[in-house]
Amino acid sequence: MQFPHYDENVMPRTGQPVLEAFIDAVTWDEALARITNWGAAHESRYVCICNVHSVVTTTRDVEFKIAVNNADMATPDGAPIAWALRRLGHANQERINGPDLMMKYLKEAERLGQVVYFYGSTESTLAKLRLQLAREFPRLQIGGAVSPPFRPLTRDEDEAVVNGINASGANVVFVGLGCPKQEKWMADHRGRVNAVMIGVGAAFDYHAGVIKRAPVWWQRNGLEWLYRLGAEPRRLFKRYMVTNTLFVIGLARQLVAAKLPASEL
């Protein structure tokens, strides 16, 4: 299925809406090839990494929905999103999550000599992240790492951020501002930042060693959210209980509707 975008300048994408978020049907190789090719040409594009929280948020935040649906690519971050795509006609869809996509691309960036930039999180996390990446990718070119203030930036401050990214020669900018802030930031900066922007949420914290990621078995069986809930129950209980419930109800309705004849929809 091809999606008709709000933004006429964005190429049509092949995939499927999950609730109100259009998610691309894409393989790991295809996702990485798009990013490296766009990055090599310094094309101003952005990539959303969508989990259950993201797709539910598209049903409640119009600005966020437009940002996701106007992206150049939106990957199924959570196992339930990949499962939904498989049920909706893309039988071989894998989970393409932010932390792994970041590391797989960084390996390619080191090989290709592409420059990366990190925008978001805290100064201490970014410092730890740079140390970790220097160990894993000693030849990786890092153009910069900036932790913005939590308040909205002034016009001059924002312009300075854009100029700094562009002057660094970055091919790809990883954005770790959290959902929905990072998606809205990327949508607002397409056409200004001369690089591929990828919203990776908590990936900076994982790879810096600030937050422990779920073991691989939990990840492969779609239970990473439960592991995170166990680690941060006070912060995440309401979010997961509410969004997971809304997702299950919404997807059930979507799957039932998909099986009805067109005349009954």
> In this structure, what token pair is assigned to residue 118?
């990190």
Q: What is the pLDDT of residue 263?
A: 44
Average pLDDT over residues 144-150: 96
Helices 224-231, 233-258: axis angle to 10 degrees equals: 160
Which is higher by pLDDT, 148 or 218?
148
Catalogue the E-assigned strands of the chain: 2-3, 13-18, 21-24, 45-50, 73-76, 115-120, 141-146, 172-176, 196-199
pLDDT in tens, 94-137: 999 999 999 999 999 999 999 999 999 999 999 999 999 999 99
pLDDT tens digits for 166-204?
999 999 999 999 999 999 999 999 999 999 999 998 899
- 75-103 residue pLDDT tens: 999 889 999 999 999 999 999 999 999 99
Q: Which of 144, 210, 149, 195 is nearest to 40 (CA)?
A: 195
pLDDT per residue over 23-50, tens digit each?
A: 999 999 999 999 999 999 999 999 999 9
Where exactly are the structural domains of the chain?
2-150+161-211
Distance of CA 222 to the CA centre of its chain: 17
Tokens 């925008």, located at residue = 119
